Amino acid sequence: MVVTEEEAPWPVADAVGPSADEIRCRGLVRIFATDGIEVQALQGLDLTVRRGELVAVVGASGSGKSTLLNILSGMDLPTAGSAVVAGTDLLSMTRRDRVRYQRSTVGFVWQQTGRNLLPYLTAAENVRVPLEIARSGTRAERAARVTQLLEMLDVGHVADRAPAQMSGGQQQRVAIAVAVAGSPRVLLADEPTGELDEATSVEVLEALRAVNAATGVTTLIVTHDPAVSEHVARTVQIRDGRTSTEVLRRTEVDEHGTQRHVAEEFAVLDRVGRLQLPQDFVSALDLRDRVRLALEADHVEVRPDGRGTTEEGR
């Protein structure tokens, strides 16, 4: 990556302060009903992402990731709960608000490389499309911005190639340039490495990280790949339609100047005090049906029931 945060030739989207909430979901529920059968894809999901943060939402197939992303991208509405993104209440948008929201508030990178780029345009022309639609700046300024964006993503050398003449990783990096061309406040990436090999995936994740650092765009990556957590400071695990645990990574430097990467796992506590125990804890102690809780001075103890039955009245 060739542009540092200090050198970024466009505004860093951090003017309102880094602590503001850019994505705020509260108690999101999405129920799908087909043939009389109800599926609760989201079961009261809470998620807060602060302005400028880079967060990965990770979960197994069927955990509700796509449902969440469809809501955040304004393509679907929750059955209950609230979702506010960059100050826009996604539940009360008019049709016109929705078009504006999808055109300028959020940028998207999809899993299918073919879905991100127009196949008959070159990389540079693809990046120019959102700038032309937004009519931002003069012709010369738009051309300069296209060049800056492609260079920032390390794909300046494929500017004149059509998508079919690029590798999958190059296509995804051009797709990121397209997604941030209109300076959206939020970048949503749906399995952006799903069609790539391991080495190329790392390149694309690092490109997302660099763009987030250089432009300050709040970035949410949704993926089933737990390896993503090595590339982001915060990973939120989604399980059965709710956020269950979070891994926070940070770099510590000791008194000898040696760097150490520290990853800590936390359980997510919702507003009414519910939390999900990690599956390996549950299995290790064979926790089932009900557990004993004890409040200690500085922690809460969870122990197996010990009676081996759940029937009432025994």
Q: How far is the CB of 222 from ligand ATP (least distance, A)?
A: 7
Q: Which of residues 200-239 bind ligand ATP (CB under 6 A)?
A: 224
**Least CB distance to ligand ATP at residue 260 (A):** 33
Paired residues of 247 in beta bridges: 235, 265
Number of residues that bind ligand ATP (CB under 6 A): 13
Alpha-carbon gap, residue 153 to 176, rounded angstroms: 8
Report the C-alpha gap between 18 and 22 in whole angstroms: 10
The smaller minimum CB distance to ligand ATP, of residues 34 and 259, is found at 34
In whole angstroms, how close is the CB of 168 to ligand ATP at the nearest point?
19
Helix (H, G, I), strand (E, B) or coil at 283: helix
Q: How far is the CB of 62 from ligand ATP (least distance, A)?
A: 4
Of the candidate residues 34, 92, 94, 138, the single one contacting ligand ATP (CB under 6 A): 34
State yes or no: residue 41 binds ligand ATP (CB under 6 A).
yes
Q: For the beta carbon of residue 247, count every other beta carbon within 10 angstroms.
A: 19
Min dist CB 72 to ligand ATP, Å, is 12
- Shorter beta-carbon distance to ligand ATP: residue 183 or 237: 237
CB of 201 to ligand ATP, least distance (A): 16
Q: Does 76 bind ligand ATP (CB under 6 A)?
A: no
Distance between CA atoms of 85 and 148, rounded to whole angstroms? Answer: 27
If one asks whether residue 26 binds ligand ATP (CB under 6 A), the answer comes out as no
Residue 39 interacts with ligand ATP (CB under 6 A): yes or no: yes
- Of 28 and 123, which CB lies nearer to ligand ATP in the complex structure? 28
Could you tell me where the DSSP H helices lie in the chain?
65-72, 95-100, 113-116, 123-134, 139-152, 168-181, 198-215, 279-284
Q: Give just the sign of the alpha carbon dihedral 82, 248, 10, 124.
A: negative
Min dist. Cβ of residue 94 to ligand ATP (A):
24
Residue with Cβ nearer ligand ATP (170 or 245)? 245
Of 14 and 246, the one with the shorter C-beta distance to ligand ATP is 246
Going residue by residue from 44 to 73, which x/- string records binding to ligand ATP, judged by CB under 6 A? ---------------x-xxxxxxx------
Report whether 151 contacts 145 (CB < 8 A).
Answer: no
Residue 258 binds to ligand ATP (criterion: CB under 6 A): no
- Residue with tokens 């009414």, as numbered in its chain: 272
State whether residue 287 is helix, strand or coil. Answer: coil
Residue 191 dihedral angles phi and psi, to the nearest 5°: 45, 55
> Do residues 232 and 221 touch, judged by C-beta distance below 8 A?
yes
Q: Residue 106: what residue type?
A: V
Interacting residue ranges for ligand ATP, rule: CB under 6 A: 32, 34, 39, 41, 59, 61-67, 224
